């Protein structure tokens, strides 16, 4: 009888370790899908399919919801915002209660889609809801994402004071947790916000800090974005030679993002 008990216990423990290793693999697939979704959609889709298969095989609703959320992010990266929202909605319905860390992510992603579709009021509502969940969880990195996104939405709404408020809140969080990459993005955002508020000197200060950070980190996308913004800045402020210089730099670092290409082509057509 004792031998049978030990054998049964061993089998239970083996199954437990197997399940743990499978969930670790699912976490890995989700992470990889997020990492390559903008550069290798095919591989990202394969990673996502693996999560779907695992979730359906095990009946794990949390991972099934996360799979729909991940696939929604792939569609978001492709610009298929309505399809992305459909997947985020499905993820939210499937997700069991008391999983607020994933719920906050799903709602945040829906907010990004609504912002891209120009539905700024709904986007703001979703981002504020997501931020509240993240603040309750006390996760600085997640709070930072929420603050940053709210700052962006307020920028598009045209509420400059609120945009600056939330962007500065995000910047304070980024510097506190030593997230230099996000800090670079936030300085760039502040530059654009101040520029639109006709505060050119403050815009230039923030653009300069952003570009210095991007170069220090060898953050190519950051160099491209800030250089493009500086080109627009100098074009509008009557310094075409400097505008041309920064546009040339932006072109050197141009990635495959269609919105970046459109922005650069717009600047080229506008001034050169």
Residue 263 pLDDT: 53
Tokens of 12: 């239970």
22-52 b/e (C-beta count within 10 Å ≥ 16 → b): eeeebeebbebbbebbbeeeeebbebbebbb
Q: Which CATH homologous superfamily contains domain 2-192?
A: Tetratricopeptide repeat domain (1.25.40.10)
Cβ neighbours of residue 81 closer than 8 Å, sequence gap 6 or more: 75, 113, 116, 117
Give CA–CA dist 269/242, Å, rounded.
16
What percent helix, strand, coil does the chain show, rounded to 5?
85, 0, 15
Residuewise pLDDT in 10s, the chain (272 residues): 444 444 555 555 554 444 567 888 898 889 889 888 888 999 999 989 999 999 999 999 999 999 999 999 999 999 999 999 999 999 999 999 999 999 999 999 999 999 999 999 999 999 999 999 999 999 999 999 999 999 999 999 999 999 999 999 999 999 999 999 999 999 999 999 999 999 999 999 999 999 999 999 999 999 999 999 999 999 999 999 999 999 999 988 876 444 555 555 555 545 55
Residue 28 pLDDT: 87
- CB contact at 8 A, 167 and 151: yes
- For 193-272, which CATH class? mainly alpha
Residue 64 pLDDT: 97
Domain with CATH 1.25.40.10 in the chain: 2-192
Q: Count Cα atoms within 13 angstroms, Cβ side, for 158.
A: 1
Residue 217 pLDDT: 95
The 3 state secondary structure assigned to 111-159 is: HHHHHHCCCHHHHHHHHHHHHHHHHHHCCHHHHHHHHHHHHHHHHHHCC
How far out from the chain centre does Cα 91 lie?
Answer: 18
Cα→Cα distances 266→152, 224, 247, 270, Å = 21, 15, 11, 6
Residue 18 pLDDT: 47
Closest CA to 109 of 95, 123, 90: 123
pTM: 0.82
């Amino acid at each position: 009888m004792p031998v049978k008990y030990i054998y049964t216990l061993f089998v239970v423990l083996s199954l437990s370790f197997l399940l743990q290793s499978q969930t670790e693999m699912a976490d890995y697939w989700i992470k990889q899908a997020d990492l390559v979704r903008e550069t290798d959609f095919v591989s990202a889709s394969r990673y996502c399919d693996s999560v779907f298969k695992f979730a359906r095989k095990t009946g794990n609703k949390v991972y099934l919801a996360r799979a729909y959320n991940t696939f929604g992010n792939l569609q978001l990266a492709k610009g298929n915002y309505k399809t992305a929202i459909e997947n985020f909605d499905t993820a939210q319905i499937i997700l069991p209660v008391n999983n607020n860390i994933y719920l906050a992510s799903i709602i945040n992603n829906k907010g990004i889609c609504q912002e891209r579709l120009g539905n700024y009021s709904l986007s703001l509502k979703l981002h504020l809801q997501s931020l509240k969940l993240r603040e309750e969880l006390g996760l600085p990195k997640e709070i930072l994402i929420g603050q940053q996104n709210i700052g962006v939405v307020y920028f598009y709404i045209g509420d400059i004071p609120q945009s600056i408020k939330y962007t500065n809140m995000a910047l304070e969080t980024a510097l506190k947790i030593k997230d230099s990459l996000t800090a670079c993005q936030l300085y760039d955002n502040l530059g654009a916000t101040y520029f639109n508020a006709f505060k050119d000197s403050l815009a230039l200060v923030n653009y300069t800090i952003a570009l210095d950070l991007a170069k220090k980190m060898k953050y190519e996308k950051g160099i491209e974005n800030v250089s493009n913004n500086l080109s627009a800045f100098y074009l509008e402020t009557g310094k075409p030679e400097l505008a041309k210089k920064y546009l040339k730099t932006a072109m050197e670092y141009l990635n495959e993002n269609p919105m970046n290409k459109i922005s650069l082509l717009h600047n080229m057509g506008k001034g050169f």
